[in-house]
Structures are given as structure tokens and as C-alpha cells.
Chains A and B, each alone.
Chain A
Amino acid sequence: MSIDLKTIKHISKLSRISVDEKKAEKLAGDLNSIFDFIEKLNELKTDNVEPLTSVAETTLKLRSDEVKSKNLRVQVIKNSPKENEDYFIVPKVIE
């Protein structure tokens, strides 16, 4: 199997990571060698195997819905790359 540049561009779009031509070529090479290695799994027959999604054999516990942390608005907003005291600022979305 081979991952071509078109596929790389498609994945980069889905990943929201911009990729130029040079980087796309490098990534195609890397991903192809990684997938060559991953293809080994096709040697195994797994038709009747249950997929393992988590090794933690536990059920979700219920707890009461209480606010436990204090008001952290100022500290949280401070981590934002762009803000005006009360809001996060992003580029214009609606023309």
C-alpha cells in the first residue's frame, strides 16, 4: 500500500495542519515506511476476536453534579493568546 501526496493533503486538511509541497513529500516517505511496518497486522486472522477498547474493567461511577473549583475566569482568560478581559478573540467568522 502506498500513501500518495493527494492523500497526505487530504489528511493534513482533516488534521488542520498546513503542509507545503516539501513537507508533504517528507511526510509521504515517513508515513509509507511506518505503514509498511504496520501492515504486519494483516498476517493475523481476527474475525472472531472482540476488540479491546480499554483495559480498565470498570463502569463509570456517578457523582453529584457540584461546582468544586472557585471562579477562575481571570486566570483562564489570561492563558489565551488574544483576549479583551472577558472574551477570547478569534478572526472574523461571519462576513
Chain B
Amino acid sequence: MSDITKQSLSELVENIKNKKLSSSEVTKAFVERSKKSKELNAYITEDFVNALNKAKKFDEKPNLDLKLPGIPMAVKDLFCTRDLRTTAGSKILNNFVPTYESTVTQNIWNEGAILMGKLNCDEFAMGSSNETSFFGNVQNPIDKNLVPGGSSGGSSSAVAAQLTPITIGTDTGGSIRQPASFTGTVGLKPTYGSCSRYGIVAFASSLDQAGPMAQNVKDCALLQEVISTYDEKDSTSIDFKRNEYSKELTKNIKGKKIGIPKEYRVDGMPKEIEDLWKKGIEYAKDCGAEIIDISLPHTNYALPTYYIVAPAEASSNLARYDGVKYGFRAEGENLIDMYEKTRSEGFGDEVQRRIMIGTYVLSSGYYDAYYLKAQKVRKLIKNDFDDAYEKVDAILTPSTPSSAFKIGEKTNDPVSMYLNDIFTVPVNLAGLPGISIPAGHDAKGYPLGLQIIGKAFDEQNILNIAYAMEEKINFKNNITDWWIK
């Protein structure tokens, strides 16, 4: 089979189970394609030799009952992988080799998948374009001048370019859904507490969630089924009954009530986003869903709330990087001088900016005015969703206020960069699941995504709606392999 890398995850699993393909054949195909795709800069660390060896070992004694039998997979470099360098896209962790494995990746390997390498991301997942990575920009396979989104930009680029059949990212304010939208792929941010945070380099602990990034909804459901487990090593992991999402997947969404929040019609939103949303509403109706207008009155306050809560938690989480026990160290005249130089040279601009914001809002005299205020507004935002879900089963919105922008276009204006996450951030603040599916193209031919937001723990429902709409939308990505010489 010559076009192995063009197959979806579900097809590859079936072909390996039917012995039409071996793990070695599949792994070799993705490794070869990844090697030819260095220009995208999707990888930070390659582990190709080990991957091929593991595939060979799998083939010697294949366990075909597993959910991901011998499937090669590259993952975002925010997940700790035992004995393989994990950088979080930062100079400060440039040489860090974890002695433990994240629960989410362990779940993936337990089902037979094989690690191919670690994918580029914004430094500590702080960014919307992958431009804050110490390891450089990632190119969007749609067009070399475009960002792939962020922070899971290496992940979105690698899935869209078919360097990996599927991958995982993390989403604190939109870092799975926005890059999925920018690359014509599917990305799911699960309910907070669904996937363990153990072994994921922490950014903002009350918001961080891992989730799948895939070529289609079915693949996404399969990986979600694998990664979502209760874990006693994460004190916010929630013990609820998890579905076998891929088995229970159905296109029958007749009578489902889908809410359209009027506050998401933001000022200055391009007409093509508005049109895409209208088209999405028609697709949902065609699938048998009932459309209901709803209101989420505090939507406009979500971004300011996020830019207090997330940096506050980040400033606390990143206090551990002091150049003593692991990571980069700059020499100093004394201990304090060493700390200050290490952190000044080891963190990039955006990370320093967020640590400073977080430190400020938590500092004496400002805690109530900023941090406590933001936590109260966060409650109002969550209440909006609770009220809405009295009337509807899910909510449909655009994923992003624009298509992918150009590399360098927004790097000098942090606030305009932050505005990218206007439709995704409220979902993290409320701890809800949200999925972005590709739904159309803008005039330039760049992909645009629609977001379906669900009730807490109702991943199955939004996966079903996405699955039904995906068929009606029948999206095709325009990728020409321009980077392969």
C-alpha cells in the first residue's frame, strides 16, 4: 500500500487488525514522511529509530485486541515521556529528561501505540501561533506563510500534514480548538477532570486539559476513549462513567436542541465567519437538530477574566524553574542573582510577560481587586452556561474570529493575539467540553472551524453532533505537499 499516510487512524487500525498492514509498514511510512517534512518544523525531538524498533517488536508478537495496535504517534512536547527529552517549547527545559510518564501518554502506549517524537508548541503552551516556542515557528501545511495556531501548533501541523495519524494537544484557553480550526482538522477539549493532568507540564492548573487532535470525528472519539480515565495521581481527576465514545458514536441527532448565543456575534467579526456560522446552523437543522436562540450575557468578560486567572496560576506553577534541580541555569554572583538571571535568560518574552501579570495580580494590595474579582466573574460566566443548558443540549459557535493569520502578523501586539481565543476561552473557564470541526474555507481558501460546546461530561453528545455535521459539511483540506522537495 503506497498511500499509508493518507489513511485515517480508524482505517489504519482496521488494516493492522486484518493483517493487511504491519505496524512496521505503517510506522516506516509516517517516519519517512516526517523526515521529508522538516521544513514544517513540527517536531522538537524525533525518536524515529526507537519507534521503528518498537514497531518491529510489536509485529513479532502482535496484540490485535488493543485499541491502537502498533499505531505510531507523535505527541505535543508538553507531555512528560519517560527517558525522552520533554521541553515544553522552552529553553529552560531544553535538556530535561523526565523520569516518569504522563498518565495520558501511558494510556496511549497501554493500547499499543508507539511514540514517534515530540511536537513543537508555544513555550509552556502560552501563545496562539506557536511563535513563542524556543524551537522556532511551525509552518501551517495549508500555506507556508501562515501560523498553524497555538499553542498546539506542532500537533495541528503534524496531523494536517499527515506526519502522524493522530495526536494529542493541551487546551488552557483554546490551544487545541484554535490550531485545529487553522489547519482544517478536528480538535476536542474534554471536560475539566476528564483526562488526567499528571505528567503534563503545568500552565494554569484550573484550566489545563489534554485532548485529541485528529483528521476526523471518529478518530477523535477513539482517542478520547483511550485517554480519558480516572487517575488518583491528579487530585482534580473526576471519577465518572466514561463512554466507549467511538462505539457509541451515532449520526442520529434528531431533536437535539442546539443553542446559538447572540453575544458571540462580536464587533468587527468578518462576514465570512458570520456566513460560516449561518451555514453551520443550516447543517445542524439538516441533521434534525432544533435551533434555539440563547444568551450568554457575560461572554465579553471572559477574556479579561482569563488574563487574570491563567497568568496568576502560571506565575505560581512556573516558580519551580529556578535553575537548581533541573533545566537551564545561568551563573550568578549569589543564589538570588542566579535565580534572576536563570529565569530572565531561560524564559521567553511571552512567558515573562505572563509571570509578571500573574505576580502583579496576586501581589499584596491587588489580590482582591484583580484575582478575587476574576474568580467572581468566572462564576458568572459558568452560571451563564448552566442557565443555557436548562434549555439546550449543546451550543454552536465559530471556533475563532478569523482564519489563520500570517507568521509575524500579531507578535508585537499581545492583546490582538489574545483576542484569537475569544470564542474558546469561556469554555475553559466553565470547565466544559468543546470540539472544533472544519466547516468551510474563507475567500483565500484557508480553513474555518465551527465549535460545538457541551454540558460537562457530555463528550458523547458533542461528538455525535460533530459526527452528523461532518458528513453534511463534507470538508476537504487543500494541502499540496509544497514542503516536500
A-side residues, CB < 8 A to B, are: 3, 7-8, 10-12, 14-19, 27, 30-31, 33-34, 37-44, 46, 49-56, 58, 60-61, 63, 69, 72, 75-76, 78-82, 88, 90-93
Contact = CB atoms under 8 A, between A and B. Distances in A.
Contacts, number: 164
Contacts of A27: 352-353, 356
Chain B contact residues, majority secondary structure: helix
Given A34-B414, A41-B304, A55-B429, 12 more contacts: A7-B360, A11-B360, A16-B319, A19-B344, A37-B304, A38-B304, A38-B308, A41-B373, A49-B377, A52-B382, A79-B95, A91-B331
B236 interface: yes
26 contacts: A3-B360, A11-B356, A15-B355, A16-B336, A16-B343, A17-B347, A17-B352, A31-B360, A34-B307, A37-B307, A41-B305, A49-B380, A51-B376, A51-B378, A52-B375, A52-B379, A54-B206, A55-B192, A58-B236, A58-B239, A61-B235, A76-B99, A78-B97, A79-B325, A88-B325, A91-B333
B106 interface: no
Contact of B300 (A40, A42, A90, A91): A40
A80 to B, nearest CB: 6
Contacts of A44: 298, 301, 377, 380
Given A27-B353, A80-B326, A38 B238 contact: no
Secondary structure at chain A's binding surface: helix, strand, loop or mixed? loop
Given A50-B376, A50-B379, A37 B315 contact: no
Interface residues of B, number: 71
B363 interface: yes
B356 A90 contact: no
B332 interface: yes
B356 A15 contact: yes
Nearest to B353: A30
Contact of A31 (B239, B329, B356): B356
Contact of A93 (B193, B304, B335): B335
**A-B complex: 10 closest residue pairs judged by Cβ atoms:** A55-B431, A51-B375, A81-B329, A79-B326, A18-B340, A46-B376, A52-B379, A49-B376, A56-B236, A18-B344
> Which of B100, B335, B357 has the largest number of chain A CB atoms within 10 A?
B357
